[in-house]
A and B are shown apart, each in its own frame.
Chain A
Amino acid sequence: MPTIGVLALQGDFEAHQRVLQELGCSAPQVRAAKDLPQLDALVIPGGESTTMLKLLRLEDLLEPLRQFGLAKPIFGTCAGTILLASEVTRPEQESLALMDLTVERNAYGRQVHSQVTRIPYEGGELEAVFIRAPVIRRAGPGVQVLSEFQGTPVLVSEGRHLAATFHPELTADRRVHRLFLDRI
């Protein structure tokens, strides 16, 4: 049974925890660098990336997370994708730079433009919940695009990492989380 930590500084970390536990994983909440060594992988949930970044700096967690990401898989959703990206725009902000992506924050607009929709996936469809979502404006040559929506990538992988601009943790479909577990 793998141990997949969920970064629990702020956001929908409990939703990820529920999914991971349902899939048979141990899913402890992670709030400090000392929680990292016992993990096989980490999820960075949705939430407000500015709030998470503030707490990451305050608690000196940025560098330990970067080091963790050089050795083990990280799955980011929405704000998590923003934190994984190598470049963040609107406005520019610091990130972990573990995936070769340029991500624009709140790129679809405000909450009234949030939506539940269907995106193509593995020859079929996948339900996707977009909440004040970012858009991946550039994906580097090493990035594999697993799904696109309205002409931009929304589910991508690079090396051991996985990132979604939507929230698979808020649906009943477990395929994206399973995809992540397969990399461990």
Chain B
Amino acid sequence: MIYLDDAFRVKVGLAEMLKGGVIMDVTNAQQALIAEKAGAAAVMALERVPADIRKEGGVARMAPISKIREIMATVTIPVMAKARIGHFMEARVLEALEVDYIDESEVLTPADEEHHIDKRGFKVPFVCGARNLGEALRRIAEGAAMIRTKGEAGSGNIVEAVRHIRTIVKEMRQLTVLGSEELVAESKRLQAPLELVQVVAKTGKLPVPNFSAGGIATPADAALVMQLGAEAVFVGSGIFKSDDPDARARAIVKAATYYKDPAKLLEASEELGIGMHGLDLSKLAESELLQTRGW
């Protein structure tokens, strides 16, 4: 089983270290420094935050190497970067650059409409998005060492992240009460390898850390998805598209630690103004959704 060998344990190991933390999207060294000073556990280097990708359109690719290098040279926390779905050569370039994690991300324009990257042959670990358990387990079977809910990136709207984490947690719980022959049928329904389905049935958890992303804009949003079972959060547009990036970054870091403590959340939220504007997702056409990229 690939998810038990030493190389895979090292990849999952870094994800373990990020638990209880906040991974922040940044587009330059200055933002990366703000993120690190606020207490981010890692930063995600990208060309444009999802809200801008959504607004400006065009093809969204891996960030320029000079930008990623600049960010890597500025902060001491782990630096992640995004590659397009299926674009294994963008991933190889990022691996050669020695970024600490690659996000094979639906936020960028997919490069392959049939195949995700075969992540098992890489030394660098990957995180992938998922909306449900089947998708999460397919990504783990391909070698992902961390799963994050997709949510709806760049929307500032938590509703999809909530839907996805609730779905994954509920589907995992359901597996724990099934008999062995029922798990075989579930494996077919989930389109996921039986051995991974069996691991989830036994433990009630994914064999890799399970984080949340896509629409987190406030400390309360971060606390909500963590209460629902997320082990850490990714915040994209929510910080640098708000009027108060410094304070908001600090507040969300505090919320990820004290997510069970309403008094601390109140403290964290006290100095914040209005968050990013955000989108009513029921008004968006299906073709405008990012979460339906990947399968």
> Of all chain B residues, which has the CB nearest A90?
B76
Interchain CB contact (< 8 A) of A109 among B98, B125, B250, B257: B98
1/0 contact string of B30-67 vs chain A (CB within 8 Å): 00000011111110000000000000000000000000
B119 on interface, CB distance cutoff 8 Å? no
Q: Give the residues in chain A near B78, CB-CB below 8 Å.
A: 48, 110-111, 132
CA distance A12 to B17 in the complex (A): 5
CA distance A109 to B18 in the complex (A): 17
How many inter-chain residue pairs (CB < 8 Å) link A and B?
A: 108
- Give, as a whole number of angstroms, the nearest-CB distance from B249 to chain A: 10
A75 on interface, CB distance cutoff 8 Å? no
B257 near A129: Cβ-Cβ < 8 Å: no
1/0 contact string of A7-29 vs chain B (CB within 8 Å): 01111111100000000000000
1/0 contact string of A155-181 vs chain B (CB within 8 Å): 000000000000100100000000000
> Of all chain B residues, which has the CB nearest A169?
B16
A132 near B100: Cβ-Cβ < 8 Å: yes
Q: A55-B253, A105-B76 are in contact. Are A114 and B41 (CB under 8 A)?
A: no
Chain A interface: which of B6-14, B163-171, B185-193?
A: B6-14
Q: Give the residues in chain B near A51, CB-CB below 8 Å.
A: 21, 39-41, 77, 253
- Give, as a whole number of angstroms, the nearest-CB distance from A82 to chain B: 11
CA distance A69 to B6 in the complex (A): 34
1/0 contact string of A110-150 vs chain B (CB within 8 Å): 11101110000000000001011000000000000000000
Question: Which residues of B approach A to under 8 Å, CB–CB?
Answer: 6-7, 9-10, 13-14, 16-21, 36-42, 76-78, 95, 98-101, 123-125, 250, 253-254, 256-258, 261
